Amino acid sequence: MGCVHGKCCGADDYCCCCCCCWCCGDSSAAGSEGGGGGAADVAPCGVVLHNDGSLLGQRRQVLLGAPLGSAAVPSHHFRLVYSSLSQRGHYPESPDRENQDCLCIRTRLQDNPNLHFFGVFDGHGQFGAQCAAFVRDRLVDILSADTRLLDSPAEAYASTFLATNTELHDSSIDDTMSGTTAITVLVSGDTLYVANVGDSRAVAGVWNGSAVVAEDLSCDQTPFRKDEYERVKQCGARVLSVDQVEGVKDPNIQHWGNEENDDGDPPRLWVPNGMYPGTAFTRSVGDSTAESIGVIAEPEVKVLKIASHHLFFVIASDGVFEFLSSQAVVDMVSKFEDPRDACSAVVSESYKNWLEHESRTDDITIIVVHIKDLSHDPSEVMVFFKQAAKLPKLLRG
pLDDT in tens, 340-350: 999 999 999 99
Average pLDDT of the chain to the nearest whole number: 83
In this prediction, residue 12 carries a pLDDT of: 43
What's the mean pLDDT in 297-319? 97
pLDDT confidence of 80, banded at 50, 70, 90? very high
What's the mean pLDDT in 8-14? 40
In this prediction, residue 8 carries a pLDDT of: 33
Distance between CA 215 and CA 136 in Å, rounded? Answer: 25
In this prediction, residue 30 carries a pLDDT of: 31
Using the predicted structure, report yes or no on whether residue 206 has a pLDDT greater than 50. Answer: yes
Using the predicted structure, report yes or no on whether residue 333 has a pLDDT greater than 70. Answer: yes
Least confident window among 117-121, 182-186, 247-251: 247-251
pLDDT confidence of 58, banded at 50, 70, 90? very low
Contacts within 8 Å (CB) and 24+ apart, 54-61: 55/352, 55/355, 56/355, 56/356, 58/24, 59/24, 61/23, 61/24, 61/87, 61/348, 61/351
From the list 75, 81, 74, the residue with the least C-alpha distance to 105 is 81
Considering only the C-alpha atoms of the chain, give the largest distance between any 2 of them, rounded to a whole number of Å. 62
pLDDT in tens, 352-365: 999 999 999 999 99
In this prediction, residue 247 carries a pLDDT of: 87
Using the predicted structure, report yes or no on whether residue 286 has a pLDDT greater than 90. Answer: yes
Percent of the chain beyond pLDDT 70?
76
Domains of the chain as residue ranges with CATH: 68-220+282-389 (3.60.40.10), 222-280 (no CATH)
Task: For residue 394, give the amino acid letter.
Answer: L
Distance between CA 386 and CA 67 in Å, rounded? Answer: 25
- If you write DSSP's letter for every residue of 275-344 in order, what string do you get? S-EEES-SB-EE-HHHHTTT-B-PPEEEEEE--TTEEEEEEE-HHHHTSS-HHHHHHHHHT-SSHHHHHH
In this prediction, residue 41 carries a pLDDT of: 29
pLDDT confidence of 1, banded at 50, 70, 90? low
In this prediction, residue 62 carries a pLDDT of: 45
Beta strand 212-216 pairing with 69-73: unpaired
pTM of the model: 0.82
In this prediction, residue 374 carries a pLDDT of: 84
303 phi/psi in degrees, rounded to 5: -115, 130
pLDDT in tens, 139-160: 999 999 999 999 999 999 999 9
Q: Which residues contact 33 (CB under 8 A, 6 or more apart)?
A: none
